Amino acid sequence: MFDQSPPHGLPHCAGVGYKPQHFTQIMENAGSVGWLEVHAENYMGAGGRPLAQLAALAETFPLSVHGVGLSIGGEGPLDPDHLARLKALCDRVKPASFSEHLAWSTHDIGFLNDLLPLPYTQTTLTRVCAHIDQVQDLLGRQMLLENPSNYLAFAESQMSEVAFLTEITNRTGCGLLLDVNNVFVSAVNQQTDPLSYLDAFPLDKVGEIHLGGHDEDTDDHGAPLLIDSHGAEVADPVWALLDHVLQRAGPRPVLIEWDTDVPDWTVLEAQAARAHTALATVQA
Amino acid sequence: MICQDAFTVALLDPSQPTPAGLIDPQGQTAPKRFAVYRNNVAASLTEALRTGFPVIRKLVGDRFFDALAGVYLRAHPPKTPLMMHYGQELPAFLQGFPPAQNLPYLADVARLELAMRESYHAKDAAPIEPSVLAAIPPETLMQSRIALAPSAILLRSRWPIYGIWAANMLDAPTPQMHGEAVLIMRPEYDPTPHLLPAGMATFLIALETQPLGAALDTATAAVADFDLGAALGILLAGGAITSLTLPKAPAP
């Protein structure tokens, strides 16, 4: 068990999800951006530009390696080849943080390239904890686990998501990555109160905060259905929830995620500047 | 209880009902909510194929491409979370895809696009300077072995795969229908396909197992006017030669 509370690693300032098209601007003038996050799987090739850029970034910025393919919630065992690639990447880049998702994405037939949901039961709790133990033992470090965006619920769930995540941190010593946009998306979709979720959340275990954009749709009955798209500016209610979290938790590393329809650097940097401002009000 | 088997089957087959036990806030089965996951999987894999095969997409058009991607992604979901490798089975799939049979060159063009990506992510290897070659006496050079960079990838086709690639990516004129050999080289980080002169593909294949002089003989046997100087010039300009192993000194 890895007990490193409160979680530490990344600086308590604004970061952005790295996109290769922004490399030159980031290296010349990163503005309000104090650290970068990369998706682990994009840097598991043998060589070429991705690895060269990552090496250059790692010399200049604290890095967060964020996995999107480990399938920690999968029913089957973790893929040993993927674990080995992850260890090699972390040994090479020495990131300030490693995080993954409370989700599954791999099944017998292959990798499904989406973060799929889990029921919150004793069975899944035991399995997820065993997988996190395995990852932390292999990497020799604490990892952060991210809360999902939910579009539906499992009738078989026996506990709340917050209770589930809290129990995971207690059993494994992992930290949490609090995605505030996911909290908002899930609350709207499940017709619950995001503030109640955040007030119950173990904020002392939060080593990183994510912010991203979402799309709006409706469900079968015309009720609002938000889709976590990472393809737009962070919505105002999500910024308000960020303020709420920062006031209670104090400053934390805050990341802007923008993965589809990636905008010009100036748009992304402006979002980071807004996060920087939100952090400054609690840092004083 | 919903096992991930049942979830996966319903995820990839839209004709299947939403698994019972996946519910909305009122406790009812939620098809449109489940469809978010279905759409995420199909849309993200289709997007990965669009990005990886821009020439195939231009050749068949967006609607045809998305339709074939929908069939392909269900038959061949990614084998690993490394999306950079997704699409390995597309050439063989295109060969056996009945609606694409009137475009018999598609499979080989897909092989070229896959090889471009493979080259992009290949292991780095520093090229040797041209002066290194020039400094070696010709007789010694002919007995030496040449190794190419991992990013240098040779393709041979009975179709004009370079011409088709160039017509779609560089607005070059539509090619004549004849076979072509292509060498992808990556001088630094950007892979570029090069149309090879006659005999050079034979030469490169021979070089994998033979010293330079023997490979030259093999190439000349196939194409009488094969030009070694031009071939080496192409390799050096593309930064594709990464090592030269001199013959062992003769025993005294």
| A107:B22 CB<8 A | no
| pLDDT tens, position by position, B181-207 | 999 999 999 999 999 999 999 999 999
Residue A2: its pLDDT value, please?
Answer: 58
Calculate the CA dihedral of residues A169, A171, A173, A178 and round it to 10 degrees: -10
Task: Tell me which DSSP letter residue B29 carries.
Answer: B
| A154:B121 CB<8 A | no
* Alpha helices, H only, chain B: 4-12, 31-52, 54-60, 62-75, 90-95, 106-120, 130-134, 138-142, 161-169, 200-207, 212-222, 228-237
Q: Taking a contact as any Cβ pair under 8 Å apart, which residues of chain B between 121 and 150 contact chain A? A: 121-124, 150
Alpha-carbon span B69 to B110, nearest angstrom: 13
Report the pLDDT averaged over residues A249-253: 97
Write down the ipTM of this complex.
0.94
Name the percent of chain A lying above pLDDT 70. 97
Report the pLDDT averaged over residues B45-68: 98
Residue A133: enclosing H or E segment and its boundaries?
Answer: helix A122-139
Calculate the CA dihedral of residues A124, A125, A130, A132 and round it to 10 degrees: 110
Tell me whether B25 touches chain A (CB under 8 Å). Answer: yes
Alpha-carbon span A187 to A179, nearest angstrom: 12
Q: Taking a contact as any Cβ pair under 8 Å apart, which residues of chain B between 201 and 230 contact chain A? A: none
Q: Which residues of A touch B189 (CB under 8 A)?
A: 48-49, 52
Q: Which residues of B touch A119 (CB under 8 A)?
A: 1-2
Whether the CB-CB separation of A53 and A23 falls below 8 Å is answered with: yes
Q: Which residues of B touch A189 (CB under 8 A)?
A: 33
**How far is the CA of A168 from the CAs of A27, A64, A206, in angstroms?**
38, 21, 13
Q: What value, to the nearest 5°, has the Cα angle with vertex B233 and ends B227 and B235?
A: 110
| B77:A112 CB<8 A | yes
User: In a mutagenesis test of the B interface, which of A43, A109, A261 is the best target, namely the one with the most B β-carbons within 10 Å?
Assistant: A109
Q: Report the amino acid identity of residue A31.
A: G
Alpha-carbon span B151 to B43, nearest angstrom: 30
Q: Which residues of A touch B84 (CB under 8 A)?
A: 41-42, 44-45
Omega of the bond leading into A6 within 30 degrees of 0 (cis): yes
Residue A4: its pLDDT value, please?
Answer: 47
| From A82, A113, A221, residue closest to B44, measured CB to CB | A113
Residue A116 CA to chain centroid, in angstroms? 14
| pLDDT tens, position by position, B92-106 | 999 999 999 999 999
Q: Which of A232, A278, A214, A224 has its CA nearest to residue A251? A: A278
Q: Taking a contact as any Cβ pair under 8 Å apart, which residues of chain B between 156 and 175 contact chain A? A: none
| pLDDT tens, position by position, B145-172 | 999 999 999 999 999 999 999 999 999 9
| A111:B33 CB<8 A | no
By residue count, chain A amounts to 284
Strand residue runs (E) in chain A = 14-17, 35-39, 63-66, 97-101, 104-107, 110-116, 144-146, 153-154, 175-179, 206-212, 214-218, 224-228, 254-257
Residue A284: its pLDDT value, please?
Answer: 61
The CA distance from A28 to the nearest CA of chain B, in Å, is 20
Task: Tell me which DSSP letter residue B24 carries.
Answer: -
| pLDDT tens, position by position, A165-215 | 999 999 999 999 999 999 999 999 999 999 999 999 999 999 999 999 999
| A47:B30 CB<8 A | no
| From B1, B82, B189, residue closest to A48, measured CB to CB | B189
| A151:B2 CB<8 A | no
| From B44, B76, B122, residue closest to A114, measured CB to CB | B44
A8 burial (CB, 10 Å; 0-12 / 13-18 / 19+) is middle
Residue A167 has φ and ψ, to the nearest 5°, of -65, -35
Alpha-carbon span A43 to A53, nearest angstrom: 10
User: In a mutagenesis test of the B interface, which of A104, A111, A221 is the best target, namely the one with the most B β-carbons within 10 Å?
Assistant: A111
Q: Looking at chain A, which residue has its C-alpha nearest residue B1?
A: A156
- State whether CATH 3.20.20.150 applies to domain A14-283: yes
Is the pLDDT reported for residue A5 higher than 50?
Answer: no
| A42:B31 CB<8 A | no
> Residues near A140 by Cβ (< 8 Å), separated by ≥ 6?
none
Q: Report the amino acid identity of residue A152.
A: L
Is the pLDDT reported for residue B115 higher than 70?
Answer: yes
Q: What band does B76 get if pLDDT is binned at 50, 70 and 90?
A: very high
Sign of CA dihedral B4, B6, B10, B13: positive
| B150:A104 CB<8 A | no
Exposure string for A231-270, b = 16+ CB within 10 A, e = fewer: bebbbeebbebbeebbeebebbbbbbbbeeebbebeebbe
Residue B248: its pLDDT value, please?
Answer: 82
Question: Any idea where the domains of chain B sit in the sequence?
Answer: 1-103, 109-252
Is the pLDDT reported for residue A6 higher than 60?
Answer: no
| A106:B25 CB<8 A | no
| B77:A111 CB<8 A | yes
Name the percent of chain A lying above pLDDT 90. 95
Tell me whether B189 touches chain A (CB under 8 Å). Answer: yes
**How far is the CA of B118 from the CAs of A23, A53, B42, B135, B190, in angstroms?**
22, 18, 24, 33, 11
| From A41, A45, A154, residue closest to B81, measured CB to CB | A41
Task: Find where tokens 């006496």 sit.
Answer: B137
| pLDDT tens, position by position, A44-90 | 999 999 999 999 999 999 999 999 999 999 999 999 999 999 999 99
The CA distance from A12 to the nearest CA of chain B, in Å, is 30
Is the pLDDT reported for residue A245 higher than 70?
Answer: yes
Residue B41 has φ and ψ, to the nearest 5°, of -65, -50
| From A47, A110, A223, residue closest to B124, measured CB to CB | A47
| B30:A191 CB<8 A | no
The CA distance from B80 to the nearest CA of chain A, in Å, is 6
Average pLDDT, chain A: 95
**Which token pair is A84?**
């080995």
